[in-house]
Amino acid sequence: MKLSFKLLKTEKNTQGRLGEITTKYGTYATPMFMPVGTNATVKTLSVEEIYDLKVGIILANTYHLWLKPGEDIVNEAGGLHEFMNYHGPILTDSGGYQVFSLAKPKNISEEGVKFKNHLNGDTLFLTPEKSIAIQNQLDSDIAMSFDECPPASASYDYLKNSIERTLRWAKRGKEVHNNPNQCLFGIVQGGAHEDLRRYSAIETVKLDFDGYSIGGVANDNESKEDMYKAIDYSVPYLPQDKLRYLMGVGDPIDIIEGVIRGIDIFDCVSPTRLARHGHALTKYGKINLKNAQYKSDFSALDSTCDCYTCQNYTKAYIRHLITADETLGQRLLSIHNIRFLVHLTEELREAIKNDKLLEYREEFIKDYYGGQYGSKK
């Protein structure tokens, strides 16, 4: 059974949307935050812990699973869900971002991208057809088109050529996609340029995908202003009845701004990566547990949080675990940080129901930034 989306309501004062995703595993509400599980694992967490966080879709990565263990192994296991024992919806990223982020000498041609395997230096060649074929094998619920993800600093001319090529790649990928239980999403690019985003959105929608995402944001120090522009310039051309996915975004304020602009789903490595580096997201801002001030702070990370970590452990203990490089610390913080973002989307859904999104944003900023928001990009 293929995943489907239903739009339930649009907020009165903004473009905030309340929706519902139906899958064979159950029904999930949007807006939604999706944690990232690159190697078929949300780093440090068991699937039981993931269920407890009340997340819906989780991400896995085509590029990484292609290299290790290989899509044939995953397929032999019965697909990604069986392989990792996660009985919930899974979205696979196409590998386009990895080409941008970790492939050193990259060589982008019409055919595809040639680059070095980050694990052993082998020369690899990834094409739209290959990416889709791997995702078909992985049997995720949502596959992503193979796109080029240019840096925010790319020139107008470069982006113009790039979005044309990404469109041709999207078409090629769609032509070979052949998993009837899997959705395929298109990706809008175009930096912070209004005409490029419009063109990319309109042309991508013409190809008729199951959902659409906005890519190329939050890369290499792009300003928040440019990110919001990229959304604003893309969303008007996307169909109302299809899911809208803002790729890679997970800063709490960006999720709120995205929802206000009509985005349904988000993903980000930040809750788990921040956890591994000793940071916790809280109602009153991001804190660094490595700071000496938490040495004998025996309170919970966030007194308003309902997660397992906050119900059972103190800042001082978690600080000790992180300082001693114990994996339990990373795990407890991952649990908390993901729950924080999932809880944020729960509150956003409630705010949309009550047509109070803008008020919610003001209150959130007041607590999270302590009135300091706006002083930095």
| The two three-digit tokens of residue 162, written as one number | 């790039």
Two tokens at 30? 């949007």
Asked if 250 touches RNA (CB under 7 A), the answer is: yes
Amino acid identity, position 336: H
Residue 267 annotated in active site: yes
Total Cβ atoms within 10 A of residue 60: 25
Contact segment (CB under 7 A) with RNA among 3-11, 13-21, 93-101, 170-178 equals 93-101
Residue 282 DSSP SS3: strand
**Is the Cβ of residue 136 or residue 270 nearer to RNA in the bound state?**
270
Cis before 69 (ω within 30): yes
Q: How far is the CB of 322 from RNA (least distance, A)?
A: 10
Q: Which of 141, 210, 254, 267 is catalytic?
A: 267
Given the rule CB under 7 A, which of 37-45, 49-57, 153-161, 360-368 is the region that contacts RNA?
37-45
DSSP, collapsed to helix, strand or coil, labels residue 172 as: helix
Distance CA 165, CA 148 (A): 8
User: Strands (DSSP E) along the chain, which ranges?
Assistant: 4-10, 17-23, 26-30, 32-35, 58-61, 90-93, 107-108, 113-116, 123-126, 142-144, 183-188, 211-214, 243-246, 265-268, 279-282, 285-288
Q: Considering 93, 147, 210, 251, which one is annotated as catalytic?
A: 93
Q: Are 237 and 198 in contact (CB under 8 A)?
A: yes
Interaction residues for RNA, span 269-328 (CB under 7 A): 269-270, 272-274, 276-279, 288, 290-293, 295, 323, 327
Is 100 among the residues that bind RNA (CB under 7 A)?
yes
In 3D space, the residue among 203, 219, 134 whose CA is nearest the CA of residue 170 turns out to be 203
Give the number of other CB atoms < 10 A from CB of residue 110. Answer: 8
Residue range at the interface with RNA (CB under 7 A); choices 20-28, 212-220, 344-352, 362-370: 212-220
Site string for RNA, 338-377 (x = CB under 7 A): ----------------------------------------
Closest distance to RNA from the beta carbon of 261 (Å): 14
Q: How far is the CB of 102 from RNA (least distance, A)?
A: 4
Instruction: Give 293's contacts (C-beta < 8 A, 6+ positions apart).
Output: none
Nearer to RNA, 19 or 250 (CB): 250
Supply the minimum distance, in Å, between the C-beta of residue 94 and RNA: 5
Q: Is 219 one of the binding residues for RNA (CB under 7 A)?
A: yes
Crossing angle of the two packed helices 252-260 and 224-234, in degrees rounded to 10: 30
- Binding residue (CB under 7 A) for RNA from 139, 141, 210, 251: 251
User: At closest approach, how far in Å is the CB of 87 from RNA?
Assistant: 20
Closest of 97, 86, 57, 62 to residue 243, by C-alpha? 57
139 is catalytic: no
Counting contacts by CB under 7 A, is residue 96 touching RNA? yes
- Residues recognised as catalytic: 93, 267
User: Applying CB under 7 A, which residues contact RNA?
Assistant: 35-38, 41-44, 59, 61, 64, 93-94, 96-98, 100-102, 104, 118-119, 144, 147, 149, 187, 213, 215-219, 224, 247-251, 254, 267-270, 272-274, 276-279, 288, 290-293, 295, 323, 327, 330
